[in-house]
Amino acid sequence: MARFLLAVGYLVVAAGAVGFAAYSIQSERARLEQRINEQAVQVRGRVDYMIGTAKVLVELMQKLAIDYRASRPDFSPPSDLYLGLREEPDGRYHLDMPSRGISPLDIGNLTGLGGLEGRGDGFLAEVEMALSLHTVFRLAAERLPNIPWIYYVSASRFEFVYPWVPSAELTYADEDLEKPYFQLGTPALNPWGAEYFTPVYEDDGGRGPVATIGRPVYIDERFEGIVAVDITLDHLLRLLNGFPVDYGYLNLVPRGGGRFWFDSRPLAQEARLIDLTRAP
């Protein structure tokens, strides 16, 4: 992503042949440079495809959320999914057990704080909107099976996350609203509703370091929440596979950073940095 660079490092190879011709060295170096360039193009193509697909899907989620709220501004008769929500005595609520005939694995889980009663039609309509996104969430997971989480996070203290996990393992917390994946969509930082990319951070769902692509959801210029997908750093690193070890190595370097991700080797002085993707 934009915050990553592709570092091309060369392995140091001892060549002890006396009188090794300068022409041979230059020729070998040229072949190496060509192979590196070819590999860099392939890697960038793989990453661009994944990032590009994720961006399109997040934009689709944003559009569907806005269109749903525009066509249903108030709370209408509750859907089967809404009727499956369960509220605990302390005000927590969740979709651990959807209505009969609906598999939670096909839906995702909606969790929140503050209860459901007395929250107003606008709030309940937003909950229904979030639940309606389960079809596009499932589509995103099918198109990009290595994406760990697809979600909607509301400023009204709830989140809808796909794939489904029980609320005992992953649930909404108010601290979520302070995380970069939410803050970068708020009116203070993103009043125009644009796409954004987060820095790498540790996933609170246990998937390791991730980066997020998100978009805010505004209804009549009122900020309601964000839609987003996470991409694991591990998956980005696996996209670098295939570079011949005899020629060196490829790895990820954060912009402004001097070391590889998940690698103890320092950035070699002769390493060349290449933009990993055209994403902004």
Please check the confidence at residue 117 and state whether its pLDDT lies above 80.
Answer: yes
Q: What are the pLDDT digits (tens) for 155-205?
A: 999 999 999 999 999 999 999 999 999 999 999 999 999 999 888 888 888
pLDDT band of residue 229 (cuts 50, 70, 90) is: very high
Please report, for residues 23, 193, 236, 248, 249, the alpha-carbon distance to residue 30 in angstroms, rounded to integers and kept in the order given.
10, 46, 28, 14, 17
In terms of average pLDDT, the best of 25-29, 115-119, 198-202 is 115-119
Q: Give the least confident one: 36-45, 85-94, 133-142.
A: 36-45
Q: What is the mean pLDDT of the chain?
A: 81
Question: 20 pLDDT exceeds 50?
Answer: no
pLDDT at 16: 42
For the ranges 99-103, 135-139, 265-269, the maximum mean pLDDT occurs at 135-139
pLDDT at 14: 42
pLDDT tier at 33, thresholds 50, 70, 90: confident
Question: Each residue of 248-270: b (16+ CB within 10 Å) or e?
Answer: bbbbbbeeeeeebbeeeeebeee
pLDDT value, residue 276 = 56
Residue 84 pLDDT level (bands cut at 50, 70, 90): very high
pLDDT at 75 over 80: no
**What is the assigned CATH class of domain 1-280?**
alpha beta
How far apart CA 280 and CA 265 sit, in angstroms, is: 28
Asked if the model's pLDDT at residue 24 lies above 50, the reply is: yes
Instruction: State the Cα–Cα distance between residues 200 and 47, nearest whole angstrom.
Output: 16
> How many helices (H) and strands (E) are present in the chain, helices listed first?
6, 12
Q: How far apart are CA 108 and CA 111, in angstroms?
A: 10
**Residues 137-156, mean pLDDT to the nearest whole number:** 94
Helix (H) or strand (E) holding 108: none
Q: Give CA–CA dist 108/98, Å, rounded.
A: 10
Beta-bridge partners for 275: 5
